[in-house]
Amino acid sequence: MTQQLTERQIHLLRHALGANAENKGVWGYRNRFFCADSTPDYYEWQSLVEQGFATLINRIDTLWLFCATKAGAKAAGLHRAAIKRAFEEHRQ
């Protein structure tokens, strides 16, 4: 069962998707978030993965790469065009 997202989780999703800019026209220009093991952000992202709002892509050196899913982008408040931008093939 999916839990309610916390404000922090929504903030992390929006940051990963470039949805923290004032101009909504640029939201979704990226879809990635790097964080280190055993940090508060890492545990938040693990929870997002468990809930289906994010995916764990890879480990690069000492950092983990997470990306939002379409469900995560929608939960973060992105509009249809921004979600499309975030999931274009060349972005992944």
pLDDT for res 92: 46
Round to whole Å and give the CA distance between 6 and 19: 17
Per-residue pLDDT of the chain (92 residues), as tens digits, is 457 899 999 999 999 999 987 888 889 999 999 999 999 999 999 999 999 999 999 998 989 999 999 999 999 999 999 999 999 864 54
CA dihedral 51, 30, 38, 4 (to 10 degrees): -30
pTM of the model as a whole: 0.89
| Structural domain spans, the chain | 7-91
